[in-house]
Amino acid sequence: MKTVSARLWNRLSSINLTVALCLLLTMDLVWGYFCLNRRTALFTPLNDLGLIPWAQTYGSHNLLATGWFFLLLTLLALLAVNTFTCTTSRVAQLLRAKGPGGWQRLALRLAPHVMHYGLIVILAGYLCSYLFTQVLTSSTLTPGSHLSLPGSGSQVQLLAVEPEYYQGERLAFWKNEVIALRARLLLSDNTGQREAILSCNRPVRFQGYSLHLIDFAPKSLNGMKMKTRIDLHVRKDPGVALYLAGMALFSLGLILYFYQWIVHREAHR
Amino acid sequence: MSMITSHTAFQFAAVLYALALAAALAPGKRSLPVNLPLAAAIGCNLLAVGLRCHQAWPMLPMHLGPVALPLCLGLFYPLAARNCEPSQRRPAQRILLAVIVLLTALALCFPKDFYLPFLKSKTLLAHGFLWFGVVGKACFILSAVWAANALLPCQPSHAISAMGRSHRWAALGFSLWTASMFSGELWSYLGWGTPVVWEDPALTLTMAAWFFYGCLLHLHLTRSWSQTHRALYASLGGLVMLTLTCLPDLGPFRIPFGL
């Protein structure tokens, strides 16, 4: 039994499998580009519905256009297993044969493995995100109106929208258009109230939800007068922390790897 | 007052890059006939990119990649073949100039610069996404150029040294490409609440290039393929992959020097 599991572990941790998977992923994603380019509308609901409901509806009923995506998921799962087994084997070897140079040298030698673990954490974060995210799409607020956050007994109220119009000459096409927008929100829960500023690339986090500004009106001083409003995407995404941690881990490994490369090059001069 | 436009500056750059390539292909070993038009071409290209950025700042100029990529390659030209023997340097420089001319021709024939910038691109992450990606792609092209150089008939030691250079450029490109992807994912998360926006098909090609070069780095490190096979993968495969990544930035055909 032990030999079977050891053999399976060795097969799964093979570098040849990594190469094959990377090549298959490359080809699959190129195929995906052409499918996505032709049938973009099929994939747009993926972020709002989550993976399972999307796969049961859009995904399974349009397999010619979505087949590449299911293959992508399978290949990524295999890659995650391959990366984990391969990296763990190498890390175990490194830890057993620590050799001279102490912890600093060991940390540098672990750099590529830190990147590999980072990749696994990123993939786990994405999976978590696509499986468990709660989304409230197209929540529109006008000044004074409220939005209730489900399951938290909390409310978000839009206090005011503060647009800044472009008045310069350089961006002729942007004259009198909104160049920056600040939406003042009042966030209320059982513990009290606080104000927060929401803008285009600055979401507001509240009660585990993140509020993102998707659209707003009016966009211009000229043209049709529209009622002041902001459109929000409200998401409760448990995968965010994981994929951000994965990115940080991958970046740390990359920095260590380059540091080691420079040190190694200097030593060989 | 008539002013030079970004498009005109890029047209000048294209002509000057072509002149530099013609001079590089001509017999003779003088470098001035190549370097002079090349320096002027880089100047014009820099002006073209600068004008496009100036016309969009603080937002991101749309589809700047095809115009900025030849500039990055031009700026890398002196570094690309530094500290190597003339027998290796000249073919590498010729291939690099040929790639630059091909890229400028593609950018002129299929421009997609008619889109206006959008408000959400007013963040450093968006600019990081663009510039890390462009410089990363330039490194990938240099990796492909050196791999092609290793395939030319030469001494085995030259081929090994050329593949070493190809590997270094690929590693640098991979790091920058990763930085570009992370910037894009963070920007996407802050702006839209999700790290992957499925409305943009270009993301699949970005990921494809990441896996392609991840595979190349594994092949280099493990030496699991022969050197010739790795060189073929990095040169021909690399050029196909990089051409594909340029597709989303190319628009409909336009006569390059039409009025």
Torsion angle defined by CA atoms of residues A84, A257, B79 and B170, in that order, rounded to the nearest 10 degrees: 0
> How would you classify the pairing of strands A229-236 and A204-206?
unpaired
Asked if B252 reaches chain A (Cβ–Cβ under 8 Å), the answer is no
Q: Do A212 and B190 touch (CB under 8 A)?
A: yes
- Hey, what are A238's tokens? 């448990």
* pLDDT at residue B239, as a whole number: 87
CB B241 within 8 A of CB B137: no
- Provide the pLDDT for residue A268: 63
Task: Answer for the pair A152, A189: CB distance below 8 angstroms, yes or no.
Answer: yes
SS3 state at B197: coil
Note whether residue B1 is domain-resident. Answer: no
Q: Are strands A209-217 and A154-165 parallel, antiparallel or unpaired?
A: unpaired
User: What's residue A269's pLDDT?
Assistant: 58
Report the sign of the C-alpha dihedral through residues B214, B217, B222, B223, in that order. Answer: positive
- Is the residue at B255 inside a domain? no
* Amino acid in the structure at residue B12: F
CA distance B146 to B95: 9
Bond from prior residue into B58 cis (ω within 30 degrees of 0)? yes
Q: Which of residues 200-219 of B touch A (CB under 8 A)?
A: 201-202, 204-205, 207-209, 211-212, 214-215, 218-219
Q: What share of chain B is helix, strand, coil (3-state, %, to 5)?
A: 75, 0, 25
Of B196, B204, B247, the CB nearest to A29: B204
Who's near A55: CB < 8 A, 6+ residues apart? Answer: A70
Distance from CA of A192 to the nearest CA of B (A): 26
Please judge whether A26 and B212 are an interchain contact, meaning their C-beta atoms are less than 8 angstroms apart. yes
- Nearest C-alpha neighbor of A41 from the set A56, A62, A60, A25: A62
Q: What is the pLDDT of residue A248?
A: 96
Q: Does any domain span residue B102?
A: yes
Between A36, A46, A240, which is nearest B204 by CB? A36
Contact B188, B194 (CB under 8 A): yes
Name every chain A residue with its beta carbon within 8 A of the beta carbon of B50.
none
* Candidates A17, A19, A24, A26, partner chain B, best to mutate (most B CBs within 10 A): A26
Please answer yes or no on whether B122 and A170 come within 8 Å at the CB atom: no
Residue B125 sits at the chain A interface (C-beta within 8 Å): yes
Helix runs in chain A, H state only: 2-12, 15-38, 40-43, 46-49, 51-54, 60-61, 63-96, 102-109, 111-132, 240-267
Q: What is the pTM of this model?
A: 0.93
Q: Which H helix or E strand runs over A101?
A: none
**Any domain includes B106:** yes
- Mutation site, A21, A25, A30, A139, interface B, largest B CB count within 10 A: A30
Task: Write down the ipTM of this complex.
Answer: 0.92
CA of A110 vs chain B CAs: smallest distance (Å): 15
Residue B35's Cβ-side half-sphere holds a number of Cα atoms within 13 Å equal to 6
Number of structural domains, chain B?
1
Smallest Cβ–Cβ distance between A212 and the set B182, B192, B215 belongs to B192
Yes or no: say if B150 and B159 are a contact pair by the CB < 8 Å rule.
Answer: yes
Q: Note whether residue B160 is domain-resident.
A: yes
Domains and CATH numbers, chain A: 4-132+242-268 (no CATH), 134-236 (2.60.98)
Distance CA A260, CA A253 (A): 10
CB contact under 8 A, A26 and B125: no
Interface check for B229 against chain A (CB to CB < 8 A): the answer is: no
Selecting from B178, B201, B218 the residue whose C-beta is nearest the C-beta of A40 gives B201
Chain mean position to CA B14:
15
The pLDDT of residue A95 is 85
> Residues 52..81 of B with a Cβ closer than 8 Å to A: which?
54-56
What are the pLDDT tens digits along chain A (269 aa)?
668 888 999 889 999 999 999 999 999 999 999 999 999 999 989 988 889 999 999 999 999 999 999 999 999 999 999 999 999 999 998 888 766 667 777 878 889 999 999 999 999 999 999 999 988 876 899 999 999 998 878 999 999 999 999 988 888 888 889 999 999 999 999 889 999 999 999 999 999 999 999 999 898 887 777 889 999 999 999 999 999 999 999 999 999 988 887 777 666 65
If we measure between CA atoms, which residue out of B95, B99, B4, B93 comes closest to residue B44?
B4
Handedness of CA A232, A238, A243, A249 (dihedral sign): positive
Three-state secondary structure call for residue A198: strand
- Please give the C-alpha separations between residue A19 and each of A9, B103, B193, B223, in angstroms, as whole numbers: 17, 29, 33, 12
How many angstroms separate the CA atoms of A243 and A260, rounded?
Answer: 25
For residue A218, cis peptide bond before it (omega within 30 degrees of 0): yes
Domain that holds residue B192: 6-249
For residue B152, what pLDDT is reported? 86
Choose, out of A201, A210, A235, the residue to mutate when testing the contact with B (most B CBs < 10 Å): A201
Write out residues in chain B with pLDDT < 70, as ranges.
1-3, 258-259
User: Which residue in A18, A33, A243 is closest to B205 by CB distance?
Assistant: A33
Residue B47 forms part of a structural domain: yes
User: How many residues would you count in chain B?
Assistant: 259
B residues 24-43 near A, CB within 8 Å?
Answer: none
B254 within domain boundaries: no
Q: Helices B32-54 & B65-80, crossing angle to 10 degrees?
A: 150
Confirm whether B128 is domain-assigned. yes
